[in-house]
Structure 1
Amino acid sequence: MELKSNFRLTSVSNPILQSTPPSPYAPIDILIGKWEGKGFNQIWRPFFGVPGQDRFLELNETIEQIEFEIIPGDVPNRGLLQADINLKGIRYLQSIQDANALGPNGEKLPGIHIENGMWLSVPATNDVDAPRTVARTASIPHGTAFVAQGFEVPTINGAPPFAVADITPFVIGDPSNRIRFPESVLANPSPFRTPLTDIPNVTQSIVDDPNTVLANDLKGFTVLSTSTLIISTIPLNPPPSGGGTSNISFLEGVAGNPTAQSAQIEAIFWVEKVLDAEGKEMTLLQYSQNVLLNFNGLSWPHISVATLVKQ
């Protein structure tokens, strides 16, 4: 929905008067714009109907579009233990399609994800004691909403370091106790994994570490600089509190036995200034996100990565 041309958020009844910084939407202003590209998605899904088989490993080569737009004006947050503050926000809509698989009626490029949300720039506060932080709020139609908070990392020269993203499930609450399953080895035939014909460009190294896709996508580019935003639904300190996920009853389950509880989300977004092979300057958005789905006693990683080009 387009906002009316005269719409502008502001405080009323005791206006909040604050000086406007030179870049009021920083550091989230690096996201503003329309981005398109491709990526890779991995998710361990719960599986029903076969005794002893509680999981299905879905793998997708993806096509993605995301657009970030400014929320005009100031977002007033009233204080009790400290003075009022103004936040700045941008809203976004993200859509992801499978590049190769067909939908149930044979349709090409079936949609596998849609998400609407906001990013917020939160000024420094003294109660709680925290420097400027960022937050992402979002909801998805599976029945999950979340608030993830974090911080900016100072811009660096060159490409970002990509840590290994491990898809191996682990005992809930104990990431050191990982349990490997045969579906994660592409050489093992399995009816409980996406058919290899639907993922022709996916290799074992990508399954072992989806962030390999991001590193491969930078080949052929000269990365001039990288700006980074890190967020999580658990406190990263900063900020020291807040954040979390919420799920509908079907996902949450009862008596500590969830169907697929989205328990924790963490993500890193990198915005890179690059030169292509012909010396043309471009701006890339790369991200790596890990959603932990809890079911049957384990936390099952759901990792999504993408490389998008600013349009």
Structure 2
Amino acid sequence: MTSYSPRRAAPPGNLDSTPLGLLAELEGTWSGRGFNLIAVPNKQNNTAFRLMLNATAERIQFTAIGGVVPNRGSVQDDIGIFGLTYLQQVNDATTMEGLHIEPGLWLNVPATSNPKAGPSIVRQSTIPHGDSLLAQGTAFKVAGGPQIAAVSSKPTGPGMAHVPLGYLDPYLHSNLPPGMKQSYVANMNQALTDAIQGQKIVNTTVLTVTSIPVGGIVNIPFLTANANPTRLDAIFWIETVERPDGTQFVQLQYTQTVILNFLNIDWPHISVGTMIRT
């Protein structure tokens, strides 16, 4: 995966005692490269589906909300939420055609007594296809680099029991965009591990969110009937990288899988990216 030169990247900041918690490390503007895989219905062209692959250029801008957001309690004391707004813009890296735009929020939620729950993070977003997302999870910091597991793009579900021979050939013999390897189609996260190969990563902040069991994706009726997004899982890694001269910079990597259900099959829509804060 091609990314921008770390020589122009911003150094790590001092984020001690911020009410944003580890989300404070997101603040700023990030730019970089990635890859996107999505299967979409193709009834209009008399085929079951079309596999779309893109090398991407993207930009995410995170801005801290100006103050506390009070949530009023009736069975426990009030809590204060702090967060950031964000705007993600993704273009095709070759044509610069717009592929995705997503405004949203990341929230740092303190522990609560009713319901009894530990600290958590929340991601909310809206997408112009007609989707709204609420995903929750946790944030933590580890020494060293990220642990990036493989992610499968293989469709699953009851509908796969009835497909003809060669149904998934587009996944095996793909028209690849520049920079994308065929092996990435099976495991998109390989693009992330390739991007950091040889780097000395000192520490990593991990932000992991999912739309289940609490949260979800709400869609307009057309999407529910034709290509229903049923689940989102995402992991963001904020990595402190040390150069050979001892100076440091931060980079952001992420992997995201959205399950689209059509033809009684669950189709993983996978996006990955590697960016630096500028």
Does the TM-score normalized on the shorter chain lie above 0.5? yes
Q: Does 1:168 align with 2:163?
A: no
How many angstroms apart in 1 are the aligned matches of 2:247 and 2:267? 41
Runs of 4+ that moved beyond 4 A: none
User: Of residues 55, 60, 85 in structure 1, which corresponds to 2:54?
Assistant: 60
Q: Does 1:123 align with 2:110?
A: yes
Q: Which residue of 2 aligns with 1:249?
A: 221
Return the structure number with greater helix share: 2
* Structure possessing the higher radius of gyration over alpha carbons: 1
Q: Does the Cα contact within 8 Å between 2:251 and 2:274 map onto a contact in 1?
A: yes
Q: Give the alignment of 1:214-229 within 5 angstroms.
A: 214-229=192-207
Q: Which residue of 1 aligns with 2:263?
A: 296
Residues 123-174 of structure 1, C-alpha deviations (whole Å, 9 max, x = no match): 0001111111000000011111110000013x22211111111001111699
Return the structure number with greater strand share: 2
How many angstroms apart in 2 are the aligned matches of 1:27 and 1:128? 23
Identify if the C-alpha distance between structure 1 residues 232 and 152 changes in structure 2 by more than 3 Å, giving closer, same or farther: same
**Structure 2 regions of 5+ residues with no counterpart?**
1-15
Identify if the C-alpha distance between structure 1 residues 263 and 138 changes in structure 2 by more than 3 Å, giving closer, same or farther: same
More contact order relative to length (CA 8 Å, sep ≥ 6): 2
How many angstroms apart in 2 are the aligned matches of 1:130 and 1:172? 36
Residues matched between the structures, number: 258
| Residue aligned with 1:81, SS | coil
Return the offset for 1:34.
Answer: 0.7
How many angstroms apart in 1 are the aligned matches of 2:102 and 2:158? 26
Q: Which residue of 2 aligns with 1:91?
A: 85
**Structure 1 regions of 5+ residues with no counterpart?**
1-20, 101-107, 187-192, 236-241, 254-258
How much is the aligned-residue C-alpha RMSD, in angstroms? 1.9
Seq. identity, %: 38
Return the offset for 1:215.
Answer: 0.4
Residues 150-204 of structure 1, C-alpha deviations (whole Å, 9 max, x = no match): 0013x22211111111001111699xxxx97111012xxxxxx6x44xx032112
TM-score normalised to the size of structure 2?
A: 0.88
User: 2:220 corresponds to which letter in structure 1?
Assistant: I
User: 1:98 corresponds to which letter in structure 2?
Assistant: D
User: 1:67 corresponds to which letter in structure 2?
Assistant: Q
